[in-house]
């Protein structure tokens, strides 16, 4: 196994390969770029690279385009785990019924 994270990254790469371009999130794009870079030239990691390459073909993107998009996402101030705009929730008043 080329990396302790191989199994986790392989699951992510396989999931990404099944997604359509219009359904990608910033997490998806940055993960695809990260995985492609992490396993570039690493022996015995063809399976994970193949999944990302298959995804790139499906999305009609090159590795350079993927990395440029990922770079622009990071430069925008995005960070993993932060909610993206529009993901805030139902808008329910969570203070109602809390003694307030």
- Give the phi and the psi of residue 65 in degrees, each rounded to 5: -65, -40
pLDDT of 96 above 90: no
Determine if the pTM surpasses 0.85.
Answer: no
Range of the domain at 48: 6-75
Angle CA(40)–CA(46)–CA(52) in degrees, nearest 5? 70
Q: Is residue 86 part of a domain?
A: no
Mean pLDDT score, 79-87? 71
Q: Is residue 97 part of a domain?
A: no
Q: Is residue 38 part of a domain?
A: yes
Confidence of residue 83 (pLDDT cuts 50, 70, 90): low
Q: Is residue 39 part of a domain?
A: yes
Tens-place pLDDT, residues 30-54: 999 999 999 998 888 889 999 999 9
Q: Give, to the nearest 10 degrees, the angle between helix 6-17 and helix 46-59.
A: 20
Q: Is residue 98 part of a domain?
A: no
Q: Is residue 65 part of a domain?
A: yes
CB atoms within 10 A of CB 26: 17
Please tell me the total count of domains within the chain: 1
């Amino acid at each position: 196994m080329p990396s302790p994270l191989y199994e986790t990254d392989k699951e992510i790469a396989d999931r990404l390969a099944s997604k359509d371009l219009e359904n990608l999130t910033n997490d998806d794009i940055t993960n695809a770029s990260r995985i492609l870079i992490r396993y570039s030239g690493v022996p015995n990691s063809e399976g994970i690279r193949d999944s990302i390459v298959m995804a790139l073909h499906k999305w009609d993107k090159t590795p350079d385009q993927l990395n440029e998009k990922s770079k622009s996402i990071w430069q925008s101030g995005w960070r993993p785990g932060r909610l993206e705009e529009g993901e805030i929730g139902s808008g329910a008043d969570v203070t109602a019924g809390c003694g307030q």
